[in-house]
Amino acid sequence: MAEDRGACDAAWFAGAAGGYIASGSNASIGRVETDSRKAGPFALFVAIRGERSDGHDYARRAADAGSPAALVSASWWAAYGPAAFAGSPCAVIVVPDTLAALQKAAASYRARFPSLLRFGVTGSAGKTSAKELLAAIVGASRPTVKNPGNLNSDIGLPASMFLARPEHEAAVFEMGINRPGEMDELAAVYEPDCALITNVGTAHVGVLGGTRRAIAEQKKRIASRFDGRQTLIVWEDDDLRDTLMSGVRGRVETYGPRSTDGFEGARDLGLEGWALRYRGVEARLRLPGAHNLLNALAAIRAATLYGAGPEHVAAGLEAVSPLSGRTSVIRGEYTVVDDSYNANAESAIAAIGFCDGANVTGGRIYVLGSMKELGAETVPSHRRVGEAVAGSKADAVFFYGDEARDAYEAALAARPDGEYRWFGDYGELESAVAAAVTPGDLILVKASRSMALERLVARLTGTGGDHVS
């Protein structure tokens, strides 16, 4: 990233955001941060008021760490700002609302690159992996920018927009939502030329309308800024495909084994991923599981519609390694399948099926934590997972969290002789799992991010395990 040249300067940002510089000097801005711990040279610090903390409390800390500019609200500036920034050269940009201002400035910044080909990726599951695969394939054919990690929210996406530079010909941004209306905000900032919806599951169903159809209606808003020239891509076997496709002003395509043109089949390598053939070229996909094959087919479909060739597909797939917490396989004394970043019923059942099909020298131990933000679907979703476990090849299953108790009870009801245990305390869970595992075992760790089961992965793998590549 050409951070030293800067994306813009504070004066431009103030104008684009609808604010003014109240203190300090104009300065070059290379990136945007909302975490004061990442503040530093060329980083504009945006003070966001959250449910648990207020970024304004850290604005001066960001300035002292080297940030040349800060974005603050008018109400905070009037009450505290001049005293807080006394003696600081930091350019303080004052706006009515910092989040709205960030989004407005990001949209203006995006408009500075009218020829930038913009891919947007959303979905209930797989969007980060699909984004990484798509960015790698597109990036093999032209200079490409992507949003880092999963900075896909109403804050993360506009902040990431400032990573774009004149040399970039394409952008691949993940777009995630957890409230109604949020996708409209993201689409207004980014205006994708090609929008990919990986699937519609139950993730965030509790806050997105209570049903999968309601989720589909929110996800399809990724195409809300289409004017007829853009493309929407959806999964060929999604039972809500018609809902996703209806009323879209633009071309609508599908992806999957039947509709990704040029796909000639794939050989399952188990924990090692896939050997995939596309238009006569074989490529190694290092991400295991049938769901990741679908993610790859989605990425291939989107990239090749816009000029990527077989050589780009092969190079892109080869370049992507498993992402931490997303069906990442870690070898060591045990083989740990780390899928601890996110969970819903569909992805949990898929992970169970994947581990059932893996070749192992020892036993199979599944650790399943609670799945969050499912609303009215909380109990039935956990019961579905419990029933799936009862029919699985697991030698032992450890359930963790209040919601997961429903999964535990469903598993026990379906298979009373199963080796199932439930825990409400993390320390007890960790001790029990550590006592149960033996060398050669395969251990699945699956839960919503808020359950923090990456702690268990760290305990099991230590520093000796290596990610499969």
List, for residues 325-366, the tens digit of each pLDDT value. 667 889 889 999 998 887 889 889 989 998 998 889 999 999
CA distances from 322 to 22, 269, 290, 330, 339 (A): 46, 14, 14, 10, 11
The proportion of the chain whose per-residue pLDDT surpasses 90, expressed as a percent, equals 82
In this prediction, residue 469 carries a pLDDT of 32
Q: What is the mean pLDDT of residues 298-312?
A: 97
Considering the domain architecture, whether residues 64 and 174 belong to the same structural domain is answered as no
In 3D, which of 360, 259, 323, 402 has the Cα closest to residue 126?
323
Question: What is the token pair recorded at 452?
Answer: 């923090």
Q: Would 23 be classed as within a structural domain?
A: yes
> Exposed, middle or buried: residue 359 (CB in 10 Å: 0-12, 13-18, 19+)?
exposed
Which one is predicted more confidently, 14 or 465?
Answer: 14
Q: Would 1 be classed as within a structural domain?
A: no
Last residue of a domain, one of 319, 344, 361: 319
* Structure confidence by residue, pLDDT tens digits, 70-81: 999 999 999 999
Lowest-pLDDT range, 9-13, 82-86, 121-125, 240-244?
121-125
**What is the distance between the alpha carbons of residues 295 and 130, in angstroms, rounded to a whole number?**
5
Q: Would 122 be classed as within a structural domain?
A: yes
* Structure confidence by residue, pLDDT tens digits, 215-226: 999 999 999 999
Q: Are 183 and 122 contacting, i.e. CB atoms less than 8 angstroms apart?
A: yes
Q: What is the mean pLDDT of residues 386-390?
A: 97
In 3D, which of 25, 31, 19, 14 has the Cα closest to residue 88?
25
Lowest-pLDDT range, 31-35, 112-116, 150-154, 312-316?
150-154
Considering the domain architecture, whether residues 285 and 343 belong to the same structural domain is answered as no
Which one is predicted more confidently, 164 or 324?
Answer: 164
Q: DSSP string covering 443-459, please? A: EEEE--GGG-THHHHHH
Considering the domain architecture, whether residues 369 and 398 belong to the same structural domain is answered as yes
- pLDDT exceeds cutoff 80 at 1: no
Q: What is the mean pLDDT of residues 3-22?
A: 89
Q: Which domain range does residue 389 map to?
A: 328-467
In this prediction, residue 98 carries a pLDDT of 98
Question: What are the beta bridge partners of residue 93?
Answer: 21, 71
- pLDDT exceeds cutoff 50 at 266: yes
Q: What is the mean pLDDT of residues 446-454?
A: 93
The proportion of the chain whose per-residue pLDDT surpasses 70, expressed as a percent, equals 95
In this prediction, residue 464 carries a pLDDT of 40
In degrees, rounded to 5, the angle at the alpha carbon of residue 241 between the alpha carbons of residues 239 and 244 is 135
Last residue of a domain, one of 101, 135, 170: 101
Q: Would 108 be classed as within a structural domain?
A: no
Number of domains in the chain: 3
Q: Would 295 be classed as within a structural domain?
A: yes
What CATH number is associated with residue 419?
3.90.190.20
Q: Work out whether strand 20-23 and strand 91-95 pair parallel, antiparallel, or are unpaired.
A: antiparallel
Q: Would 86 be classed as within a structural domain?
A: yes
Q: What is the overall mean pLDDT for the chain?
A: 93
Describe the crossing of helices 404-414 and 378-390 by its angle, rounded to 10 degrees: 40
**What is the distance between the alpha carbons of residues 426 and 127, in angstroms, rounded to a whole number?**
29
Considering the domain architecture, whether residues 302 and 348 belong to the same structural domain is answered as no
What CATH number is associated with residue 246?
3.40.1190.10
Confidence bin at 166 (pLDDT 50/70/90) = very high
In this prediction, residue 363 carries a pLDDT of 96
Q: Would 459 be classed as within a structural domain?
A: yes
Q: What is the mean pLDDT of residues 287-311?
A: 95
Last residue of a domain, one of 268, 301, 319: 319
In this prediction, residue 462 carries a pLDDT of 82
Considering the domain architecture, whether residues 348 and 413 belong to the same structural domain is answered as yes
